[in-house]
Amino acid sequence: MVFSSPMTAVDQVISRASESVDMLPSDAEADIIGSPTTENFVAIGHEFLRLLVEVGGLRTDARILDIGCGVGRIAIPLTRYLDRGRYDGIEPIKQLVDLCNTRISPRHPSFKFHHVDFFSKRYNPHGKVDSRKYRFPWPDGHFDFVVLTSVFTHVLKDAAENYLREIARVLEPGGTMFATAFLLSKESELRTKQNVAAPRFPFSVGGAKVGNKKDPEGSVAFDEKVFLQMVERCGLTIERFEPGYWSGPIPDTKGTYQDLLIARKK
Q: Do residues 211 and 200 touch, judged by C-beta distance below 8 A? A: yes
Residues 6+ apart with CB under 8 A from 156: 205, 206, 207, 208, 216, 217, 220
Confidence at residue 3, expressed as pLDDT on a 0 to 100 scale: 39
pLDDT digits (tens, 9 = 90+) for 14-65: 888 888 899 999 999 999 999 999 999 999 999 999 999 999 999 999 999 9
Residue 138 Cα distances to 16, 88, 110, angstroms: 33, 10, 16
User: Among 160, 115, 138, which residue's Cα sits nearest to residue 261?
Assistant: 160
Domains of the chain: 39-265 (3.40.50.150)
Query: Would you tell me how many other CB atoms lie within 10 Å of the CB of residue 93?
Result: 21
Look at strands 86-91 and 111-115 and give their pairing. parallel
pLDDT digits (tens, 9 = 90+) for 118-172: 998 888 899 999 999 999 999 999 999 999 999 999 999 999 999 999 999 999 9
